Amino acid sequence: MRIPDWMFYLLVIAALLYGCGNRGGDRLDDRFEAERQAGGFQPADEADPVAPAGEGDGDGQALPSPSRFDEQGLVDAENPELYSTGTAFAVGPDGGWLTASHVVRGCPTVGLVSADQETAVRVRQVLVSPRADVAWLDTDGGPQPFAMDLDERDLRLNALGFHVGFPQGNPGEVITRLMGRQTLETRGAWRGEEQTLTWAEVARTPGLNGSLGGLSGGPVFDSRGRALGVTIAENPRRGRVITTAAESVTEIVERADLTLAGDPAPPLDPDAFTKRGDRLRADRRVMQVVCLPD
């Protein structure tokens, strides 16, 4: 049964209130180990200092190709909960979005909500990858999409990554450095194995402590404003953030039979990242994902 528009909007508001009250978001932290505390946009504990503006492209060493010797990771996936939240970002013309599949998997109704909560959009179609933690969302029209760079030959180790979204259900950002590859195996509510990229947390939005739950599904940008993939998990104990590799995004785009098209975000650097993140959310290019009951 289709939810009437007025009821859809009320459910969206209820979901946001529930998520903020529980600070659970998509419960990203529960997928890994104990929480790790960090400060504001200052160097995070056990991480390298933030690079000055203009030094975000890495140390020149290319990201190695996938190998059987890559680090291994294991995720125990839970069944999705009603009123869970995450992040999505515009990547296709006429209302195409990417998010993490665990944010929307099993949701009867999915909605997108702007940061100011003045815009709520019903997702009319969800396409979930059968093996990777990525999903395509389709809405009736949308904002200017982001350009994506899926050529991993461009990536350099220690390059800065800029993650934007709704950690803990609130607007927020994280800065990381590219560490390498990881083979991530998922067990539990669904099973899969995928190549991912591992990033070391460097800094985060002032006042954002503890879990990054709710950031799942959001974009990771390079310093030039090109989206590189989808944020899907964190390892709080080690101070790591996990994103999709290019092959996972390519697969879901091909399954959707769509073409990526768009413009980069403005160039990014640590000094201006909070303002840039706020602008991307204000432009409705990055929105909060809400899972609603039938």
Query: Which has the minimum average pLDDT: 114-123, 159-168, 183-192?
Result: 183-192
Residue that has been written with the tokens 């006042």 in this structure? 207
Per-residue pLDDT at 262: 87
Encoded tokens for 227: 């989206």
- The answer to whether residues 25 and 32 touch, using CB atoms and an 8 Å cutoff, is no
Q: Where are the alpha helices (DSSP H) in 128-210?
A: none
Least-confidence region, from 46-60, 154-168, 184-198, 226-240: 46-60
The pair of structure tokens assigned to 142 is 């949308």
CA distances (Å), 86 to each of 5, 22, 156, 171, 230, in order? 21, 14, 28, 11, 11
Which runs of E-coded beta strand occur in the chain?
71-77, 85-92, 96-99, 109-113, 120-122, 125-128, 135-138, 160-165, 172-188, 192-204, 219-221, 227-235, 240-244, 286-292
Owning domain of residue 52: 5-292
Total domains, the chain = 1
Enter the tokens of residue 207: 């006042």
* 20-to-16, 38, 274 alpha-carbon distances in Å: 6, 20, 20
pLDDT tens for residues 200-224?
A: 999 999 889 888 989 999 999 999 9
Question: How far is Cα 151 from Cα 84, in angstroms, rounded to an integer?
Answer: 32
Question: Which structure tokens are listed for 28?
Answer: 């990203």
- DSSP for residue 275: H
Average pLDDT, integer, range 11-19: 55
What does the block give as tokens for 107? 């949701």
What's 139's domain CATH number? 2.40.10.120
Span 108-160, pLDDT tens digits: 889 999 999 898 999 999 999 988 999 999 999 999 999 999 999 889 999 99
- Overall pTM surpassing 0.85 (yes/no): no
